[in-house]
Amino acid sequence: MKKNVGRKLGIYPTPVVVVGTYDKDGKPNLITLAWAGICCSEPPSVQISIRRERYSHKAIMERRAFSVNVPSVKYLAETDYAGMASGQNADKFKAANLTSVRGELADAPMVLEFPISMECRLTHCVEVGSHDLFVGEILACWIEEEVLQPSGRPDPQKVAPLVFIPGSEYFALGELLSSAYGPGKKLMRE
């Protein structure tokens, strides 16, 4: 039996991404977000949602660009930190001992140490409420060669992404269950 627990955010799970921006003075900054995801296949696009008062919000509005970086579980402390500190008064790359790499196509810094980094161009900004939703078109996706499979796809277990449960806890990726477009086929015939 189900119970109405009110207006709760029940999406289980969400990703954990670290977004890179340059501020007006060109200082690279980071913010960790779980209110994020894919929102379009063509052009390939992501959505990231940020409170208007956050330092990264202004940087995205000014530069109309950002990077989306996927941390591995071994960078849990660095990732958690980048969600708590503010770029207004901290150099988060320095404090977290992470390396900033200038994007080639978007005016945003990427995180060298993380296995996946995407350069994004801002295409839409939607005022939803406490958060503005930014849509970014992916101009390039950089993958650490050590996690790439012969197929050209990253190995999910080698990427070892963080998995977030709102409320809020970090989990690891669990076991592989199946490929998509497989287990449902038996129901297609009925």
Q: 114 to 153, contacts with a second copy by CB under 8 A?
A: 116-118, 123-124, 126, 128-131, 133, 135, 138-145, 148, 152-153
User: Shortest distance, CB of residue 134 to a second copy, whole angstroms?
Assistant: 10
Given the complex with a second copy, which of 62 and 183 has the nearer CB atom?
183
Q: Give 86's DSSP letter.
A: -
Q: Is 88 in the site for a second copy (CB under 8 A)?
A: no
User: Shortest distance, CB of residue 93 to a second copy, whole angstroms?
Assistant: 11
For residue 159, count other CB atoms closer than 10 A to its CB.
19
User: Which residues within the stretch 159-188 sit at the binding site for a second copy (CB under 8 A)?
Assistant: 159, 161-188
How many amino acids of this chain bind a second copy (CB under 8 A)? 104
Are 139 and 106 in contact by the 8 Å Cβ rule? The answer is yes
- 159, 29, 131, 133: which is closest to 82 by C-alpha? 29
User: Shortest distance, CB of residue 27 to a second copy, whole angstroms?
Assistant: 17
Q: Burial, 2: exposed, middle or buried (Cβ in 10 Å; 0-12, 13-18, 19+)?
A: exposed
For residue 150, count other CB atoms closer than 10 A to its CB.
5
Given the complex with a second copy, which of 39 and 61 has the nearer CB atom?
39
